[in-house]
Every structure is written in structure tokens, then in C-alpha cells.
Amino acid sequence: MRRNWAARLRHGTIDGLRAVTLENERLRVSVLPGKGGDVVEFLHKPTDTDFVWLSPQGLRDPREHLQGAADGVAQFVDHYEGGWQEVFPNGGAPSEYRGARLAQHGEVSGLPWECEVVADSPEEVAVRLSVRTRRLPYRMEKVLRLRSGTTALEIEGRATNESGLPLHAMWGQHIVFGRPFLRPGARIRLPEGVRVIPHESAITPPARRVRAGGPWEWPLVPADGGGTTDLSVVPEPGAPSDIVYLTGFDEGWYEISGDIAMRVEWDASVLPYLWMWQEVGASTGYPWWGRAYTVGLEPFAGMPTDGLAAAVANGTALTLEPHETKVLSLRAEVRV
């Protein structure tokens, strides 16, 4: 029964793409099953705060984009609206794994997912999204659940190896934050004992925020060129672009706060790393052109952002045994 109160579901379209919206008294979350299961709205209704960063290019339907030179990066970037993507089985740059060429953050972030309703009552609503990869024999599922009266989205993800062979994967939650929630001086809080592993080289040469080397102790780390960088403070626009990898999580959680806060909790035994991507306006070439102000805090299995082959080579990739299913629990909660 259609409701306009308590927990409820809405089916419709956003910019021509099929959308499903989970809503209650405090939160509204919109998901695009036809575009990777992307979360494109995470709105705290009492404060009218949407935690999702929307990229300057906006939401584009991949089916309507037929121009441009094809390459393994453009497949993701040309249709990247910001938001929150499921990344599997390749994280970061295009890579080749056992003869399969995988694009940037491929494959599931670019595929249409099936969607079915699994709960629809005033007490809670939930949908199950599912997809099979095209180049590797995996099946992915995730159930998104919103309960009445809460400010928390609960997710249970499943990755299944449908082959009789052991296989590797990178699995990540590509969660990025932007204005108006994100602002200079916003704070990032992590558990005690977290260490910082810088990316090997600057992602936008020659500048970077964190000196190469490490690992360093969170949050005060050596700055490139001397001095200290406090990674727990979101920088001013124009600060150098960078990506670092955070490790040492006994419990997987972080909080990012401005006037209000988002707390993300996840199973760190499945995703032991947190990628921290900072693009706050210093990149003046493709694809940002100086227009991005965003910070990504992305739980991940595997590092660095050089693709699956690199994660296999350094021993950080996830291993799925024949017909094994990995289960990931994740919770994203707004705190006032």
C-alpha cells in the first residue's frame, strides 16, 4: 500500500534513470538500480542536508552517451555523477587479471542491477539489488534497509564466486562527500591506532599533501615539502590533491562532521583499508578542471588505486575460494 508517512518506498525516475527511494520521517535515500546501484541522494530531512557530492557534470545516462574516445578510464569518469558507488572486482585504474581487461572501478559500478522489494511496511522498507559481472564469474547482491524513526541506512552486501576456481577481487564503497555538507575545517575522526600509507606518487604532479614513505601515524603526518599535515581537518579549496590508504582498523568506522555528522561503520575483516581521496580544486586538467571540492572516505579490500593486478601482486586483494560468498555489513548514520 502506498504511504506518505513512516517508512515508505517510491519508484520513479531521476534524469531519465530508474530510481527507487527509501524514506522515513528523517531520511531520504535514492538509488539508481540501472546505473550501478548508485546512491545519488542521502538527505537528512530535518536539516535539509544531503551528504552526497554531485559532480559538476551531473547525472548522465550511459545509454545516451555515444561520443568520445573509448578507454578504460572514460568508461567510469564520463558517467560519474558523484554519489556512492559499489566497486567490484577492480579498484582504481584499469587493470588486467588472468586475461580479463577491467576498466576503472569496473565492473559492477557500470552495470544495471536487478531490483526487488523485500520489505515494505510502516516499520521498515528494504530492497535487494543484484548483478552478475560480465568478465569474471561473480554475483553481487546488496540489501538496503531503512527503519522507521532512524537516521541510519543499513546494507548487507554479498559477493559470490560462481566458479570452481579461487579468484581475487577488490571490493570497495566509493563514498564521497561534498558541499554544502563538506566545508573547510570539517573534521574526520577515526579509531585509535590507524596508520597512513601514502600513495607511491603524486596523483596531480608535482604537489601532494602527504610526503611519500611511511607508514605514518594518523592524523599528523609529514607534509610534502616540509612541516606537518593534519589529515583530520578538511583543507581549504586549492589544497593539493592526494590519496592515502588508512589501515590498522580493529573496528571499521569513521565520522566526518561539519555542523552535523555522518558515521559509517563496516566489517573491517572484509574491507581492512580506508581510502582517503582529496580533490579540492587543485586538479585543473581532465576530468575536474578545478571544479571539484570533495573528499572520499572509502572502505576497501585491496590497495593501492592501481587496479586488481597490483593488489594481487602486493597481497592485499580479497580471495574468494570456489563458490565462496563473502558477506559485508555496513551502516551509514547521520548524527546531529
Per-residue pLDDT reduced to its tens digit, 188-224: 999 999 999 999 999 999 999 999 999 999 999 999 9
Backbone phi and psi for residue 307, each to the nearest 5 degrees, phi listed first:
105, 170
Map grid coordinates 555523477 to a residue. 81
DSSP string, 236-295: PTTPPPEEEEEE--SSEEEEEESSSEEEEEE-TTT--EEEEEEESS---STTTTT---EE
* Per-residue pLDDT tens over the stretch 70-102: 788 888 888 888 999 999 999 999 999 999 999
- Calculate Rg over the CA atoms of the chain: 19
Residue 67: pLDDT band (50, 70, 90) is low
Q: Any idea how long the chain is?
A: 336
User: pLDDT at residue 293 above 90?
Assistant: yes
C-beta separation of 152 from 26 below 8 A: no
